[in-house]
């Protein structure tokens, strides 16, 4: 038969195309594994069996009648920040209690058109604000490599589901590393596409100028396939780019001859875990063996990345989350005396501590007298960081860096110290500031924890990072 927990998209499609298994059987097998094992990991918030099995039956009927689809019958997990018609979308928050999405996000619509099956909704940090998935209003997700550790965040549920074999693949979102960091910690592949490559329509916004939808998979080839499906311009998202989507899966040759890979010195600072450093160096050495040239480069504005990112991200969060007021949908506080009292009590009870912290920070940096000093200055710094990356990519086709300074955090380790948690994003937020693409590929281990390698590429050059990631995957 087949090993359901290690099955990837490509192999699942081969099995279904050959008639060895149906989509219904595949979906039922995954649901059974989730029922048996997810209590250990808390990767999922909800599983809609009837919804998933109806989609699987439909996929089997289409295959039997000769219809095709790039993902026909493949069950996928969906981060609970993406709207799926007829399903809950809590964003990991109590404030969206009772909300049922009346429409599909564009990325979801494209998966549906390709024949995918929607298995369930994965846990996340509330409104994608966090790096551990401890900020969910509902449960704490655990790392499948070591359940004493966090899975990363904010797409920790998707990372844990894929890493634990409770999903063939999943969608996540990346605002400052929220796909790449949990992929790194959970031992799977995570791809943050360039800003504008994938439509944000139907993605509940945290920071609209950073947010991006992307795949979390067991192999780089699977990520390439999912990107082919979900990428492209969208009339519902004016920030989506009218740029042709490549057939990424056909570009994975394993040969890096002629490629130049940049190594930015600012990403190898003091304080990095020595096992992380050795893992990244091993990946660099392997690229050389495969024909790549190495060029040492400098990105000095990296020192300003965390401050710039958290000013802009919290400012946009304070604006985007203003809509959750208890009036139109979601949680509504009781026993209120007037509209202002309603807003206060609804938001106080509905939002978690980290979300409230970021809303307050964002409101402050946008306030009269501070706007230019903080938000205005951060936007100028962001422009300079973008220009710095553009210039660096004139000298190289991609860069290799760590994903995280450490191999992982124990559950509760950073409780009460949000600044320490923010500083842990130093190697991932730069890609969101610059709008470029980034890929995390598992490449090493520390004890029983996974260590990933980050590959950064120029804007809309996902083929560069996928090609390197696929070559590294072969080791």
DSSP label at residue 372: I
Cα dihedral sign, 279-280-285-291: positive
Q: Which CATH homologous superfamily contains domain 4-251?
A: Amidase signature (AS) domain (3.90.1300.10)
Answer left, alpha or beta for residue 213, where phi above 0 means left and psi between -120 and 50 means alpha: beta
C-beta separation of 195 from 212 below 8 A: yes
**Cα-based torsion angle of the residue sequence 279, 254, 178, 445 in order, rounded to the nearest 10 degrees:** -30
% of the chain at pLDDT higher than 70: 100
Q: Report pLDDT digits (tens) over 117-136.
A: 999 999 999 999 999 999 99
Q: Report pLDDT digits (tens) over 433-473.
A: 999 999 999 999 999 999 999 999 999 999 999 999 999 99
DSSP label at residue 5: G
The mean per-residue pLDDT over the stretch 318-345 comes to: 95
Q: Where are the domains of the chain?
A: 4-251
- Is the pLDDT at 417 greater than 90, yes or no? no
Catalytic residue numbers, as ranges = 79, 154, 178
Q: Report pLDDT digits (tens) over 6-22.
A: 999 999 999 999 999 99
Q: Report pLDDT digits (tens) over 70-79.
A: 999 999 999 9
The confidence score (pLDDT) of residue 377 equals: 97
* Terminal alpha carbon distance of the chain: 27
C-beta separation of 313 from 207 below 8 A: yes
């Amino acid at each position: 038969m087949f090993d359901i927990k290690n099955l990837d998209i490509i192999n699942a499609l081969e099995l279904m195309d050959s008639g060895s298994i149906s989509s219904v059987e595949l979906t039922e097998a995954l649901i059974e594994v989730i029922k048996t094992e997810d209590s250990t990991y808390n990767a999922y918030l909800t599983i809609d069996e009837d919804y998933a099995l109806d989609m699987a039956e439909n996929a089997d009927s289409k295959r039997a009648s000769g219809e095709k689809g790039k993902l026909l019958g493949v069950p996928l997990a969906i981060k609970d920040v993406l709207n799926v018609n007829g399903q809950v979308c809590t964003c990991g928050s109590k404030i969206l209690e009772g909300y049922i999405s009346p429409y599909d996000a564009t990325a979801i619509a494209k998966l549906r058109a390709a024949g995918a099956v929607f298995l369930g909704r994965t846990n996340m940090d509330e409104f994608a604000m966090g790096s551990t998935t401890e900020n969910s209003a509902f449960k704490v997700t655990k790392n499948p490599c070591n359940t004493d550790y966090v899975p990363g965040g904010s797409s920790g549920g998707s990372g844990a589901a894929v890493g634990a074999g409770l999903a063939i693949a999943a969608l996540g979102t990346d605002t400052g590393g929220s796909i790449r960091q949990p992929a790194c910690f959970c031992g799977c592949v995570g791809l943050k596409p360039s800003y504008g490559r994938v439509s944000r329509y139907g993605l509940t916004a945290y920071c609209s100028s950073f947010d991006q939808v992307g795949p979390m998979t067991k192999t780089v080839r699977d990520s390439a396939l999912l990107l082919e499906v979900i990428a492209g311009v969208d009339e519902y998202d004016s920030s989506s780019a009218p740029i042709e989507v490549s057939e990424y899966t056909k570009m994975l040759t394993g040969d890096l001859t002629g490629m130049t890979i940049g190594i930015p010195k600012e990403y190898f600072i003091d304080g990095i875990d020595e096992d992380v450093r050795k893992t990244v160096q091993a990946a660099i050495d392997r690229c050389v063996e495969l024909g790549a040239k190495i060029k040492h480069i400098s990105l000095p504005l990296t020192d300003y990345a965390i401050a710039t990112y958290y000013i802009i991200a919290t400012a946009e969060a304070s604006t985007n989350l203003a809509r959750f007021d208890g009036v139109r949908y979601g949680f509504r506080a009781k026993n209120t005396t007037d509209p202002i009292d309603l807003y206060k009590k609804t938001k106080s009870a509905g939002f978690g501590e980290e979300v409230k912290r970021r809303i307050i920070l964002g409101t402050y940096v946008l306030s009269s007298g501070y706007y230019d000093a903080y938000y205005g200055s951060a936007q100028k710094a962001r422009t300079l960081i973008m220009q710095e990356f553009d210039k660096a990519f004139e000298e190289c086709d991609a860069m290799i860096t760590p994903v995280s300074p450490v191999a992982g955090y124990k559950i509760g380790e950073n409780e009460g110290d949000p600044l320490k948690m923010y500083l842990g994003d130093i190697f991932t937020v730069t890609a969101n500031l610059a709008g470029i693409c980034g890929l995390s590929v598992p490449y090493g281990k520390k004890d029983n924890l996974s260590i990933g390698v980050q590959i950064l590429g120029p804007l809309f050059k996902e083929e560069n990072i996928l090609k390197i990631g696929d070559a590294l995957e072969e080791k």
